[in-house]
Amino acid sequence: MRVRQVFPWAHPHGRYPLGRGTDPSPEVLALLTPNAPRPPEGRGLLFLDAETTGLAGGTGTYAFLVGVASVEADAVVVEQFFMRDFDEEPALLAALGPRLAEAAAVVTFNGASFDLPLLETRFVLGRRSWPDLAHVDLMAPARRVWSGALGDCRLSTLERAVLGVVRQEDVAGWEIPSRFFAYLRDRQPARLRPVFAHNRDDVLSVVALLGWFTGTLVGEPSELGPEELAGLGRLWERSDAERSAAYYRAALASGLGGPGAHRVQLRLARWEKRQARWEVACALWQAATRARVFDPRPWEELAKFHEHRQRDVAAAHQLMQVALTLAQEARASGPVVEAFAHRLGRLQRRLARRR
């Protein structure tokens, strides 16, 4: 059975219209797929989510409902392919196959770990060829952006916190397999209505999440909170270090605090060090030494700066005395204390030779 629904680009899914995610730029797609041999095309994307008979995967797990969304003219078209019993799996795969083959890329959330491997297994077991798919999995970039701001990076969490989606009478994911098996026993289709709605909303949320990335990555940092700014800095770090540093600076200027600020200070200091902007790097290392939890890295960097760049052995010696005391008070690991003691002893010997 196939269910088809059409949503205009202006249709709001949470706070954002669906059309925002229908035509991402090559730059955005390259950023979201840093390990791909080539970034996928922005047009011809197929958004996908599957509901299965189990959450563990394996050859005994079936995808009984597969939802896909494609862009047509000025609308997003959602199609859901449903097998009413196990003997209809060949028909489901036959209907889904052309959609996959025609797609420029498939966009999922956690599809690399679950949906696509499961579907590939079903295609192979059904003696059907599995197409060579370009894939954009939004889970990895979502974790880089929101792991420090949210308790978790599940799609349901991002829906509420980022997209502003509030589902009405949604069914929990763990409950979906049991609803399908109950349907096979009593053939009451009403129990599957929330499953279809859940799958449709998952697909639309993937479209809207790609729209968030599309709109935000070319937007102004001032529109975001400090945690999101820091997350975008992590996202840009692999491909554009200068833009990543700009996001990190914006995050600190916006009031980022706590462990997040400490991580950003160290990442930004590393960038400033590479640019030989030593004054700025030292200021960031100094700020990082005031973290509530002892971290040896800024102390090591400051000591190396004074010893090797400034040729001020006395200042480096004084720093390491303080650092060693703090490491011992914080009960740092043995290798850290030994490294600090070794550096301090070497600096003491250099001072003694000068005297």
Whole-number Å distance between alpha carbons of 321 and 241: 34
pLDDT of 226 > 60? The answer is yes
Which of 24-33, 183-192, 194-203, 313-322 is predicted least confidently?
Answer: 24-33
> Bridge partners of 64?
none
The letter for the amino acid at 284 is L
pLDDT in tens, 227-262: 999 999 999 988 888 999 999 999 999 899 888 999
Tell me what the mean pLDDT of segment 14-33 comes to.
85
One DSSP character per residue, 99-148 reads HHHH-SEEEESSIIIIIHHHHHHHHHHTT-PPP---EEESHHHHHHHHTT
Q: How far apart are CA 107 and CA 163, in angstroms?
A: 17
Alpha carbon of 314 to those of 25, 290, 317: distances in Å?
A: 54, 22, 5
DSSP per-residue letters across 181-228: HHHHHH--GGGGHHHHHHHHHHHHHHHHHHHHHHHHTTS-GGGS-HHH
Lowest-confidence range among 5-14, 28-37, 213-222?
Answer: 213-222
What is the chain's mean pLDDT, rounded? 91
pLDDT digits (tens, 9 = 90+) for 265-303: 999 999 999 999 999 999 999 999 998 889 999 999 999
For the segment 123-133, the average pLDDT, to the nearest whole number, is 93
What's the pLDDT score for residue 222?
A: 54
pLDDT of 39 reads 67
219 pLDDT higher than 70: no
Q: Name residue, tokens 């999440």.
A: 209
The pLDDT value given to residue 220:
57
Predicted pLDDT at 297: 94
Residue 20 — pLDDT band, cuts 50, 70, 90? Answer: confident
DSSP code for 18: G
Predicted confidence (pLDDT) per residue in 146-186, tens digit: 988 888 899 999 999 999 998 887 898 889 999 999 999 99
Q: What is the pLDDT of residue 286?
A: 95
The CA distance from 198 to 176, in Å, is 9
What letter does residue 23 receive in the DSSP assignment? S
User: Kind of pairing, strands 105-108 and 12-13?
Assistant: unpaired
High-pLDDT (> 70) share of the chain, %? 97
Residue pair 65/196 in contact by the 8 Å Cβ criterion: yes
pLDDT at 128: 94
Beta 135-137 vs 105-108: how paired, if at all?
A: parallel
- pLDDT at residue 225 above 90? no
Residue 351 reports pLDDT greater than 70: yes
Predicted confidence (pLDDT) per residue in 75-92, tens digit: 999 999 999 999 999 999
C-alpha span between 122 and 64 (Å, rounded): 11
* Residue 22: per-residue pLDDT: 77
> What distances in angstroms separate CA 329 from CA 229, 323, 325, 341, one per listed residue?
34, 10, 6, 14
**Whose CA is closest to 241, among 279, 270, 212, 281?**
270
Residue 319 three-state SS: helix
Count how many Cα atoms sit within 13 Å of the Cα of residue 293 in the half-sphere of its side chain.
6
pLDDT average, residue stretch 350-355: 86
Q: Each residue of 27-80: pLDDT tens digit?
A: 888 889 887 766 677 678 999 999 999 877 677 899 999 999 999 888 999 999
Q: Which of 176, 199, 180 is nearest to 189 (CA)?
A: 180
Euclidean distance between the first and the last CA atom of the chain, given in angstroms as a whole number: 89
Neighbours of 223 (CB within 10 A): 10
pLDDT score recorded for residue 269: 95
Residue type at 355 in one-letter notation: R
Neighbour-count burial for 191-203, b at 16+ CB within 10 Å, e otherwise: ebebbbebbbbbb
